[in-house]
Amino acid sequence: MISETLQNAINKQIIREMYSSNLYLSMAAYYASINLNGFANWMRIQAEEEMAHALKFFDYVLDRGGNVALGAIDAPQVKWDNEVAPFEDAYAHEQNVTAWINELMDLSHSEKDYAAISFLNWFIDEQVEEEKNASEILDRLSLTHSSPASLFLLDNELKQRVFVPPTA
């Protein structure tokens, strides 16, 4: 059985993951609006990943005999000043998510909830990948210096990304 404290913290994380999904979908809409459809694809896939993360937390609470309590999800930003800004925001957002996952891990350790610790290890590893992916694309964007040819090449590369559902 999951403690009420941990259950409430995970319920909050479910909402954060759903917000993350909406944020990335908003970024996808922005990129589509400026005809960077590869960038839009990358963000759409990211939105799917974030919703999958929300559902992993959702299922975990239920599996532990807890109650899922969904709350309101804030509306994400919808406009950015340039093609680099969404990835700057994505990287900063992933750093926030990492901090939230670390807080859940700290809580799990303080409660000696070893099942939660085991479950959260997947998210710890996932956040390393999430930050790395956003950072690498941000670095590559900075190298383009807004060169249309460079953006075109990167956009074509980002079109190749496909959603792979997370494994247990």
User: How far, in Å, are 3, 63, 74, 88 from residue 15 at the CA level?
Assistant: 19, 18, 9, 22
Query: Has residue 167 been placed in a domain?
Result: no
Residue 88 forms part of a structural domain: yes
What pLDDT is recorded for position 144? 86
Q: Residue 101's domain spans which residues?
A: 4-158
pLDDT for the residue 168: 62
User: Could you say which residues of the chain have pLDDT below 70?
Assistant: 168
Give me 114's structure tokens. Answer: 């070893």
User: Does residue 163 sit within a domain?
Assistant: no
**C-alpha distances in Å from residue 10, one per residue of 23, 49, 70, 124, 165:** 19, 17, 10, 14, 21
Would residue 52 count as lying in a domain?
yes
Secondary structure of residue 35 in the 3-state scheme: coil
Is residue 146, in this structure, part of any structural domain at all?
A: yes
Q: Is residue 17 part of a domain?
A: yes
- Residue 65 sits in a domain whose CATH number is 1.20.1260.10
Query: Structurally, how many domains does the chain consist of?
Result: 1
165 within some domain: no
pLDDT of residue 146: 75
Residues 114, 6 contacting (CB under 8 angstroms) = no
Q: Is 131 within a domain?
A: yes
